[in-house]
Structure formats: structure tokens, C-alpha cells
Amino acid sequence: MKMNRIVCIALLLVFIVPGMVFAAGAREEREEHLIGFVVKALDQEFWFAVRDGAMAADEDFTDVRVMLDGAAAETLVEEQIALVEDMIVRGASALVIAPTAPVQLIPVMERAIADGIPVLLVDTDVDDWEAKTTFIGTDNRTAASVAGKFMAENLSDGSRIAILEGIPGVATSEHRVEGFKEGLASVGKDIEIVASLTARWDRAEGVTVMEDIITRHGAIDAVFAANDQMALGAIEAIRGAGISFDDIMVVGFDGTPGAAQAILNGEMTASVAQMPFMMGYMGVEAAREVILGREIDRVIDTGADLVTKENAESYL
């Protein structure tokens, strides 16, 4: 009886073990392409949403694996360059990059292309860089013009406003400021821009710069911030100065949950919502298509929307 049990176990092993080895081998043989995804920073709601979208795509597409990282702050350009270099070393089959300072990033991106690694840009385009595979993101100029038109339509002739810009020389900031001014002018009202200053995408700098604007120019009627972090900083400064939010309009850009809450609180009037989750998801999706040898569009628009009190709850 004991011998029969031993024989049965031996027979089971003969059939089961090769099957286990085959299954393990099949898992090992499955080709998994690495996608290096480098955002500008991992310190803001916007980039967290981009990350979440990229990781959702990582779950959905089993033939790719996403390596995602970002600098500690958007001002740390050298750190972002080092992260891109690291993705190349780690064997990325494609790179998806949101370049903080495009001119400074181009040499390392060119190096990737020379190594046969396609580079896809997300959030921030480099207009005259032909080597990119595609740009995935918002048409910043068109989206910001919606904010400018909205502000002008809700202000009176003779109103005085201020602009908080992003990092100088960065296309994203320049396009948003240009688009905002175009939308503002399209209504045909006499509106004066008393200050247009950089707060470098940063909330704390938004507080400082807005405090300076209030000190220098007194009561103004509105402020446009090229991202929500600076807008939230401006709100802190306005609150600190004892100015009623009934007397000043604050319009941001990004449509983050923090901005949506400020709109519901009556402190921010509106924000232009990008779709950061879709930027992350579609960035991975497009990179996968390129890796598999499929053609994609030169520009992939992820869309935008104006967030006001009527729809802010859906952006929380």
C-alpha cells in the first residue's frame, strides 16, 4: 500500500512539474516593454493625477511596464535631466517626458533618440523640436483664451488686473499668458494689466508675489494665475490683506481638486481644467503604440474645460 502511494505521487510529479515549469517559462517569455515616464515634479496635485493615469494604463496594458519618476520640485531642472538619463540606462523602450525646461532637456532627449528610444512629450510641447514623436496634452493657448474671455465678460470697463506667470522661458507658461491676453482682448473692453510677474508655478511664491502686487497697486479687480498652485497662493495673500473675495476675481489653470474646493468656497471664481489623468494614461497608451510599430498622431489633444461653481463638485 505504501509502495502504491509512492508510485502515485511519482506519477503526479511527472505530469505536474513539467506543467509548472512550462507555465513559469511562459511568464518569463512574455515580452514586457519598459516605458520611462518622467514628469516635472511629484509635489503637486496635477502631477499626482498624471501619475495615477500612467499607472492605470500600466495595469491595463500587460505587455508594458511603466517606470515613473519626477523631480522634487519643478525648478530642479538638473534633477529631471538625471532622471531621464537614468531611464535610458534602465533600458526604456520609449520615453514620455514633461520637460520643465525644454531647451536644457533637448540634449538628453536627443541622446535617447540616437539610442533608438522614441521620445513623446506630455503637458509641455517643444514647438520647433522636430525629433519628438508626438505631443500629448492641452492646447494651452486656446484653453487660456477661454479664461481671458470669461474674465473680460465678467469685468467692467476700466478694471485693473494682474497675471501670475510660470517659470520664465517655459512654453507652457508663455502660451497660457499669450492665450489669456488674446481672450481678454477679444471682448473689446478697456481692461488694464497692472502687473504680470512670475511666481514660478509655486504656491508659496504666489503668496509673496500677490502680496507685492497688492502693496504696489492697491485694490485690483482680478488676477489670472497660469496654474492653480499660484492661484491658491494668491488667495492666501488676498485673505491676509483683508480683501473680500466678493471684490476680486481669481482665475486659475489646471482644475485641480484644491482649486475646485476653493471655487465652491467662494474664494476662486474659475479654473481652466486640463485632464492630467488622461495625459498620463494616453501618454503610456501612445508610447505602447509606438513600441509596437504603430502610427500615432503628431498631436494628441487631451482636452480642457472651464470649472466654475456650477460644475466644480465634479472636479473634487
User: Which three-class secondary structure state does DSSP give residue 119?
Assistant: strand
The correct CATH number of 140-273 out of 3.40.50.2300, 3.30.2270.10, 1.10.260.40, 3.40.50.2000 is 3.40.50.2300
Domain boundary assignment for the chain: 32-136+276-302, 140-273
Q: Determine the Cα–Cα distance for residues 71 and 219; give it in Å rounded to an integer.
A: 37
Name the residue among 280, 260, 278 with its Cα closest to residue 270. Answer: 260
Give pLDDT tens digits for 22-47. Answer: 333 433 444 689 999 999 999 999 99
Q: Are strands 299-301 and 160-165 parallel, antiparallel or unpaired?
A: unpaired
Is residue 165 within 8 Å of 195, Cβ to Cβ? no
**Structure confidence by residue, pLDDT tens digits, 176-224:** 999 999 999 999 999 999 999 999 999 999 999 999 999 999 989 999 9
pLDDT at residue 127, as a whole number: 85
Would you state the CATH architecture of domain 32-136+276-302?
3-Layer(aba) Sandwich (3.40)
- The predicted model scores a pTM of 0.81
Q: Is the pLDDT of residue 12 over 90?
A: no
> Do the domains at 32-136+276-302 and 140-273 have one common CATH topology?
yes
**C-alpha grid cell for residue 83?**
532622471
Half-sphere exposure of 61 (CA within 13 A, CB side): 25
Rounded-to-5 percentages of helix, strand, coil across the chain: 50, 20, 30
Give the pLDDT band (50/70/90) at residue 2: very low
